[in-house]
Amino acid sequence: MKITIKDAQINVTLNSKIVCDEIDNEGYFYDEELDRIIVMNSTCLFLWNLIKNSNSDILFVEDIEEQYKKHFILNEESLKSLNYDILKTIKDMIELRILISYE
């Protein structure tokens, strides 16, 4: 899966050692390899499901934003920071090994 941000691309895949469950609109990610549970917010859960259910090999951040707006009710301030929030969540997911980044 390629996530395209302006002129750059991040190649990611879901970590196959992660099992995801949703409880109260939060993502509970169990890392079987490290035997740990990571609790993440609804944005992370949304991105996980979007990538998991995507029929495409590429996602554009703009398309992620549009899908996010359809899924959540956002106030004006949330809309202003949406791009940043999505990019930060992707970065956090990579750092926590929920997503695996590759060349």
Give the CATH fold of the 2-102 domain. Outer Surface Protein A; domain 3 (3.90.930)
Write the pLDDT tens digit of every residue in 26-59: 999 999 999 999 999 999 999 999 999 999 888 8
Write the pLDDT tens digit of every residue in 4-29: 877 789 999 999 999 999 999 899 99
**Residue 55 backbone phi and psi in degrees, to 5:** -95, 5
- What's this model's pTM, rounded to 2 decimal places? 0.88
The pLDDT score that the predictor gives to residue 89 is: 94
Write the pLDDT tens digit of every residue in 58-100: 889 899 999 999 989 988 988 888 888 999 999 999 999 999 9
Domain ranges for the chain, please list them: 2-102
